[in-house]
Amino acid sequence: MKRYLIRLVLIACAFYFLFPLIPGVQFHGSFIHALFAGAVFAFLGWLVELGAMAASAIITIGTLGMALLFLIPAWMLGFWLLPAVALKLAADFMPSTLSFHGWIPAIGGGLIMLCIGVVTSGDTSKKIRRM
């Protein structure tokens, strides 16, 4: 539970402090708005990942596994796009607080969110504590 709160605070800090530094990204609001935007992003990120996995499973089953020849490289090259899609959806959900002017700023923000996710994931934090 503590890890999720730390992740939420780091995501809120990214919304509040880092996103305004990216050209093409606008965040309007207080830190409370950033916390709410972080919660919305986390939920939408979960939905996007769930949808991508479900679509991959359906395509794999429908083609009797042949789609894996395409899906495995696509996942390896495009997993970093999922946070960008979640950010664009979050911006559509709350347009008065967050806006992205194109996909390039969303991908930049998604890379920041991906880094936060990697740092706060369970396996990585255990490895860091051992060092």
The per-residue pLDDT of the chain, averaged, comes to 89
Task: Give 84-103 pLDDT, tens digit per residue.
Answer: 999 999 999 999 999 999 99
- Indicate whether 130 belongs to any domain: no
**CB 128, CB 120: distance < 8 Å:** no
- At 90 the pLDDT is 94
pTM of the model: 0.83
- pLDDT band of 59, cuts 50, 70, 90: very high
**Structure-derived torsion over alpha carbons of residues 45, 49, 50, 52, reported in degrees to the nearest 10:** 140
Examine residue 72 and state whether it is found in any structural domain, yes or no: yes
Q: Judge whether 11 lies within some domain.
A: yes
Q: Which domain holds residue 81?
A: 2-125
Specify if 36 maps to a domain.
yes
Q: Please state the domain count of the chain.
A: 1
The four Cα atoms 69, 73, 75, 76 give a dihedral, to 10 degrees, of 150
**What is the rounded CA–CA span in Å between residue 122 and residue 109?**
22
Band the pLDDT of 128: cuts 50, 70, 90: low
